């Protein structure tokens, strides 16, 4: 028992330069994923909780539809956690739209004290890390973390109108339509509960990539930087994880991140992959893969945590990646700064079994 993991530690510790180890690792008490039709047709289609038949959801705009995705995922996650709206102390949420309106409007409906986050597609890890910190320092009991993205709302903001007849470049990525929601709390309902044990907050890395249609190349160095830092801070390596999965590097970005890590003498094995590279099938015509905050969030809130609950994986390192640019910045010729945060999720006994 003594050797069995930091799960039973009681003090929060700061490891190295960027990593926090949580003394009372907060549980992911409830989680949910709601996605659009294209995601449902992908290889993980059956593992998402809800697959919508169309992506407008009967709303009058794509932006409102995105809010509805977030609301449905949030409500489902709260129900699974056995928590009512009133039991949640904070809602941490973010998305890609200007002034994060999808989250703002979902927060208006839920009426939970709200902190809006922006980390582009890395927002999930930003939220999970902050929520785990709050919980671990005992200043909250339950926190809802949720992020969303929507292909059609992102397209009109970042690229062209939907009916514009342009070809997508080979490095382009397809924004995931959907949302993932997570209720973090001191305990889970299940006997074995996924818990957040570590959080490595990434720094912003910019290698001067300017092409907004090639976000994988822009984000790969940030992902590599955070992963390398995580290993240094924790003394762990790639083999210590059943799965190391980045957010939305896409096929090209995953290749580049592996290469950058290799040049730093960190050899990633077969357990290293990327949500954006696998969420869609090769026949789905998405070029380099997927992107969007909902890419890592729907994968974590669906296939990944379900596999952990089923005992297929015990320790997961998820590294959502974000390209921190706006239409204004790239039109002004700026390069694309990127960030990645790493979160360790480990299966551990629920409160009833192992905790004081």
Partner 1 sequence: MNIGQSYFWAFIVGGLWCVLAQLTVDLSGMTPAHVMVAFVSLGAILSGLGLYQPLVALGGAGASVPLPGFGHALVTGITQQMEDKGTLFGLFSGGLSATAIGISAAVVFGYLMAILFTPRGKR
Partner 2 sequence: MGASKGAGAARNGSGKNAGGGRSKTSRPASSRPASPKEQKKYQKIAQQARPRPPVLINCIKAFLTGGVICLVGQGVLNYFIRIGVKPPDSGGPLAGVMVTLGALLTGIGVYDVIGKFGGMGSALPITGFANSIVSPAMEFKREGYVLGVGARMFQVAGPVIVYGLVTSVVVVLIKMAVMALTGKS
Specify the residue, 168 or 307, whose C-beta has the smaller distance to partner 1: 168
Residue choice 154, 256, 297, 299 for contact with partner 2 (CB under 8 A): 256
- Contact set for partner 1, span 42-71 (CB under 8 A): 54-56, 62
User: Of these partners, partner 1, partner 2, none, which one is at the site of residue 225 (CB under 5 to 8 Å by kind)?
Assistant: partner 2
Contact between 159 and partner 2 per CB under 8 A: no
Q: Write the burial class of residue 230 (CB in 10 Å: 0-12 exposed, 13-18 middle, 19+ buried).
A: buried
User: Of these partners, partner 2, partner 1, none, which one is at the site of residue 38 (CB under 5 to 8 Å by kind)?
Assistant: partner 1
The span of 24-32, 73-81, 120-128, 236-244 binding partner 2 (CB under 8 A) equals: 236-244
- Contact set for partner 2, span 33-92 (CB under 8 A): 60-61
Specify the residue, 54 or 86, whose C-beta has the smaller distance to partner 1: 54
User: Of these partners, partner 1, partner 2, none, which one is at the site of residue 55 (CB under 5 to 8 Å by kind)?
Assistant: partner 1
Contact between 155 and partner 1 per CB under 8 A: yes
Q: Are 233 and 20 in contact (CB under 8 A)?
A: no
- Contact set for partner 2, span 3-32 (CB under 8 A): 3-7, 17
Residue choice 1, 86, 163, 282 for contact with partner 1 (CB under 8 A): 163
- Contact set for partner 1, span 15-44 (CB under 8 A): 36-38
Instruction: Give me the DSSP letters along 126-182.
Output: HHHHHHHHHHHTTS-S-EEEEEEE-HHHHHHHHS--TT---PPPTT-EEEPPEEEEE
Instruction: Provide CB contacts within 8 A for 92, sequence distance 6+.
Output: 114, 115, 117, 127, 130, 131, 143, 144, 145, 146
DSSP 8-state code for residue 312: S
Virtual CA dihedral for 29, 35, 39, 40, nearest 10 degrees? 90
CA–CA dist 224, 313 (Å, integer): 23
Specify the residue, 11 or 59, whose C-beta has the smaller distance to partner 1: 59
Per the listing, tokens 């790639």 go with 238
Tokens of 176: 């995931």
Q: Which residues pair with 174 in a beta bridge?
A: 290
Instruction: Please count the residues of this chain forming the interface with partner 1, following the rule CB under 8 A.
Output: 17
Sites of contact with partner 2 (CB under 8 A):
1, 3-7, 17, 60-61, 156, 160-171, 191-192, 203, 205-209, 214, 217, 220-221, 225, 228-229, 231-232, 235-242, 252, 255-256, 259-260, 264-269, 288, 314-315, 346-349, 353-354
């Amino acid at each position: 028992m003594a050797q069995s993991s930091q799960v039973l530690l009681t003090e929060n510790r700061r490891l190295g330069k960027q990593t926090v180890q949580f003394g009372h690792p907060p549980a992911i008490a409830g989680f949910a994923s709601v996605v659009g039709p294209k995601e449902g047709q992908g290889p993980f289609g059956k593992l998402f909780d809800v697959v919508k038949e169309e992506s407008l959801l009967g709303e009058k705009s794509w932006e409102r539809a995105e809010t509805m995705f977030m609301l449905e995922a949030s409500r489902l996650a709260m129900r699974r956690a056995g928590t009512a709206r009133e039991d949640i102390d904070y809602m941490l949420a973010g998305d890609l739209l200007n002034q994060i309106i999808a989250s703002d409007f979902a927060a208006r409906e839920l009426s939970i004290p709200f902190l809006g986050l922006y980390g582009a597609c890395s927002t999930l890890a930003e939220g999970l890390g902050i929520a785990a910190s709050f919980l671990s320092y005992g200043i909250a009991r339950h926190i809802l973390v949720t992020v969303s993205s929507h292909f059609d709302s992102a397209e009109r903001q970042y690229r062209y109108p939907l009916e514009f007849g342009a070809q997508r470049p080979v490095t382009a990525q397809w924004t995931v339509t959907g949302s993932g929601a997570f209720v973090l709390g001191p305990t889970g309902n299940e006997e074995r509960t996924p818990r957040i044990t570590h959080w490595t907050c990434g720094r912003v890395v910019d290698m001067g990539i300017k092409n907004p249609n090639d976000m994988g190349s822009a984000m790969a160095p940030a992902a590599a930087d955070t992963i390398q830092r995580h290993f240094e801070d924790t003394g762990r390596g790639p083999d210590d994880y059943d799965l190391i999965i980045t957010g939305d590097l896409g096929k090209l970005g995953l290749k580049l991140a592996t290469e950058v890590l290799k040049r730093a003498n960190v050899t990633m094995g077969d357990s290293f992959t990327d949500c954006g590279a696998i969420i869609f099938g090769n026949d789905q015509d998405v070029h380099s893969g997927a992107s969007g905050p909902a890419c890592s969030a729907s994968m974590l809130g669906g296939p990944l945590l379900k596999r952990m609950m089923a005992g297929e994986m015990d320790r997961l390192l998820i590294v959502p990646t974000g390209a921190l640019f706006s239409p204004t910045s790239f039109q002004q010729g700026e390069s694309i700064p990127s960030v990645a945060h790493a979160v360790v999720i480990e299966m551990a006994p629920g409160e009833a079994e192992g905790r004081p």
